[in-house]
Amino acid sequence: MGIRVENLRYAYGSKLVLRDISLFVNAGEYIGIVGVSGCGKSTLLKLLAGLYQTQSGVVEVHGACRPEEIRKNVAMVMQNTVLFPASIKENITCGHPMSEEVIWQACKAAQLTEWITSLADGIDTFVGEQGGKVSGGQAQRIAIARAIARNAPVILLDEATSALDGDTGSAVLAALDSLTRGRTVVSVSHRHETLANCSRIYKLEDGRLHSL
Amino acid sequence: MIRELRKLFNITGMLRRFIILTLLRCPFDALYTAVQALFLKHAFDAVNNAQTSSLFITCILFGVGNIILFLYNGTVWTVYTAFVTNWTAVLRRKLFRHIGSLSLRQIEMRTVGEWITRLNSDLHAATAMLNQPIHIPHAVVSLVNAVVSSVILASADMMMFSLVILFAVPHMLISRLIVAKPMTRLATDVQEAAAENASDMNAIIVCAAEALIYDAQSFLLRRFEESSLNIRRKSMRLQHRRALVNSLIPLMGMSGYLAALLVGGSRIAGGAMAFGSLTAVLQSRGRMLVSLMMFINSMINIKTALAGVRRVCDTMDIRPEDRDVA
Amino acid sequence: MSLLIKMMYKRILPVVLFICTSIFAMLVSLWWNWQLRDIINKINTGTHIPTDVIIMAATAILFSMASAYALSLCSAWACECMAHDLRMGFAKHFATLSLTEIENISAGEQLSKLQNEISEVNGFLQTNLFTFADDIIRFIGTFSWLLWLDPKLTLVSNIPTAVLVWYTVYTSRVISEAAQQSQQANGQMNGFAGSLIAVFPVMKLFDAVQLISDKYDAALVRWERAVVTEERRRAVLMSLSGLMSCSPLLLLLLVGGIEVIRGTLSVGSLYAFINLSGNVSGAMMNMPGRIASFRRFAVNLKRVEPFMAAGFAFRK
């Protein structure tokens, strides 16, 4: 099923940020998009995630074209992780019914098990407002666990590995590896070297995609 | 309570002006009570003695007295409101500047909802002490009025005064025990629930992208609904106490009235009292009870507003870490 | 105003309960005054008061107590339910926005709106709307009963009330014009509170505390000026309405007193008239303030109404 983007244009008011973008990603393929800050990478990713409504052109993700349908097929991990002011468990389930087994498998794949078991309230620990009570690395792994638990066929990564530090970086990378294995992945970054795992890399420049 | 108020006035200053203006507001209610009691006494005496001309003169004097009283009250009110607005502006300015002088670390120690609540709800609650009806000014005015009514009543009829006190004291004690005492705690609970609710609202806006992707809007809305219902629950606890006090008013007030009528009636039958005097006594009793009620309600509202005052004072007590800015 | 109707329709049960309790409380109050009239007539003629009259009066006191409790509880419950509906409507509005719309929103400003404008609407519901309704019910009930008791005395003593009604309509308009200006200034100030928290990191980073504080001070001065104008006007107009509200008592004693002297009215009835005149003139005395608050409430309601479309969309 994969991803199909044809003649996609998107503008903020009169400023055109994406011009006639066409992109095909096969199911199970891992591609990367690189570009400088403000070139429209995140906008493209939000369109692929069904967060923005297309203005012209086609976006088809895993056979779905309507944004609300697209959203059912994707999971997304961003550099600036946003957590709900709720418990770790609720951040993973997002309030949906989910078995304990699935939750703990997601935690294990996201390298969270050890840390969670060390907490007094365990998986029911409150993460604070905007994740204020957990570190950046822990927040990102919770976001990855959330994406794993969703079991979506398409994974979108927005600068997911751009701000990793030495201590937690390897844990996050391992978690990301669990998340992306066997799935269709689009990863965007402003640094070329963070897209080493990609089978194809594109550069987004002046609103257009160029194959590298 | 006094400590918190002193703290609040330490922040704003202007305590002396507030005391003078509040005292200037006192004579109106007390004099109005005296004028009404005198009017009823003389009017009923004139009616019972069938003296139409005396009734006319009493009515004219009552009208003139009222004109003077309301002219005075309007003038004092105008000056007082200008003062209170100025006082509120000073408090707002100081709180805003103080929060602005805190470090980012200090701000991030509390939730966004908490800060917004401190800048809005808590500030409104604190300023309500001076600028809303049935708070400090009314407490002072009603206390003075209650004292004046008591003096009029006691000098007119000591026995009736004792009877009124017999019904008024338990009323005040019960009101204080079941409402005034726990009011600050109950109001603090409501404010805390409001802060929690504001944080949940913040999540709906800030976590919108994640909520859309993971279909979690209903989850966030559910959380918001829970905290909103929590506000309702906490508020109803507070309202229930108020309802209890409101039910005490007819119980103690009307039964006291009935008792005064029966005692007064037997004395009129015995020739020890005139009907005009009984109406004047009942009028003074009514004003005294209204003043006491207003005093109780003012104290309840002050206690409720104290939750806001405390939080405002707490905020002002935070010492800024950024010395250059502070 | 359609939002208020929708809100009340949604919470029809507590609203109807409140109205029923208010009518019951008014009837109990009239019944109590009927008892009082008999007791005072007996006292005035030096007759012994029978035990059954005292028992009836005591029963009226108990009913009055129960109705006061129920009235407070019903109005509080209805208000709290409506406030909850308002909050939910506000939240649902944001939950239904698209990401592009929500990205242009300042969370701080919206939180301020949640706490200020919705709180103001809620505050009015709690302190004015239901008291207003109760005043009207008492006014209608008492006035009708007094008319039945002595039409001449009722009409003569309440002639000034008609002037008062005209005056209150006039004053409420003047007050609301001044109130609108202070509300606008207040809205600006509340916006600042939200912005302060939202831009806090940037403000610290670029040392812009003074800039923001100066802007806040300017808004504060505008607000202060508007509020002082409003309050001065209110003080003058309401003092005059307070003075006018004394005239019913004056006319009652003058006209009623003459009727008693002529023997066409009993002292007990005159006393009941005086007791109940508060229900008529008191309601009128509070009217300018209540109408002004109602106008202010209408402005606030209009401001929150666009946010409530999602919350009340599925209600008739």
Residue C285 has pLDDT above 70, yes or no: no
Name every chain A residue with its beta carbon within 8 A of the beta carbon of B216. Answer: 84, 94-96
CB-based contact, A132 to chain B, within 8 Å: yes
Evaluate whether residue B8 is within a structural domain.
Answer: yes
The rounded distance, in Å, linking the Cα atoms of B217 and B7 is 43
Dihedral over alpha carbons A59, A63, A66, A72 (to 10 degrees)? -110
CB-based contact, B219 to chain A, within 8 Å: yes
Phi, psi angle pair for A34, to nearest 5°: -115, 150
Phi, psi angle pair for A112, to nearest 5°: -105, -15
Give the pLDDT band (50/70/90) at residue C311: low
What does pTM read for this prediction?
0.73
The token pair at A160 is: 């997911």
The rounded distance, in Å, linking the Cα atoms of C94 and B221 is 10
Which has the higher per-residue pLDDT, C45 or B89? Answer: B89
Average pLDDT over residues A149-155: 90
Across the B:C interface, residue pairs with CB atoms under 8 Å apart total 260
CATH code where residue B174 lies: 1.20.1560.10
Q: Do C269 and C237 touch, CB atoms closer than 8 A?
A: no
Predicted local confidence at residue C55, as pLDDT: 93
Contact A96 B215 (CB under 8 A): yes
B99-108, C41-50, C120-129, C131-140: which has the highest mean pLDDT? C131-140
Half-sphere exposure of C188 (CA within 13 A, CB side): 17
Ramachandran class of A28: left when φ > 0, alpha when ψ lies in -120 to 50, beta otherwise? left
Vertex A73, ends A206 and A185: CA angle to 5°? 50
Write the DSSP string, B151-180: HHHHHH-HHHHHHHHHHHHHHHHHHIIIII
Tell me the CATH number for domain A3-211. 3.40.50.300
Task: Give the CATH architecture of domain C2-308.
Answer: Up-down Bundle (1.20)
Predicted local confidence at residue A162, as pLDDT: 66
Evaluate whether residue B20 is within a structural domain.
Answer: yes
Determine the residue of chain A that is closest to B221 in CA distance: A95
The rounded distance, in Å, linking the Cα atoms of A18 and A8 is 7
Residue extents of the structural domains in chain A: 3-211
Residue recorded with tokens 């600050």: B184
DSSP A190: S
Write the DSSP string, B75-90: HHHHHHHHHHHHHHHH
The rounded distance, in Å, linking the Cα atoms of C152 and C251 is 12
Dihedral over alpha carbons C100, C104, C106, C111 (to 10 degrees)? -50
The number of folded domains in chain B is 1
Contacts of residue A108, defined as CB under 8 A and 6 or more positions apart, other chains included, come to none
Which has the higher per-residue pLDDT, C199 or B146? Answer: B146
In chain A, what percentage of residues exceed pLDDT 90? 28
**C interface mutation test: which of B92, B255, B312 has the most C CBs within 10 A?**
B92
Q: Which domain holds residue B23?
A: 2-317
Interface pTM, i.e. ipTM: 0.76
Q: Do B105 and B325 touch, CB atoms closer than 8 A?
A: no
Contact B214 A46 (CB under 8 A): no
DSSP C312: T
Determine the residue of chain C that is closest to A49 in CA distance: C99
Residues in B 297-316 with any Cβ partner in C closer than 8 A: none
How far apart, in Å, do the first and last CA atoms of chain C sit? 15
Residue B278 has pLDDT above 70, yes or no: yes
CA distance A13 to chain C (A): 12
The rounded distance, in Å, linking the Cα atoms of B241 and B170 is 17
How far apart, in Å, do the first and last CA atoms of chain B sit? 29
Residue extents of the structural domains in chain C: 2-308
Contact A86 B206 (CB under 8 A): no
Give the pLDDT band (50/70/90) at residue C316: very low
Phi, psi angle pair for C311, to nearest 5°: -65, -35
Q: What is the pLDDT of residues C104-145, one digit of tens each?
A: 777 777 777 777 777 778 778 877 788 888 988 998 999 899
Residue C15 has pLDDT above 60, yes or no: yes
Q: Which of B81, B218, B249 has its CB closest to that of C232? A: B81
Predicted local confidence at residue B62, as pLDDT: 93
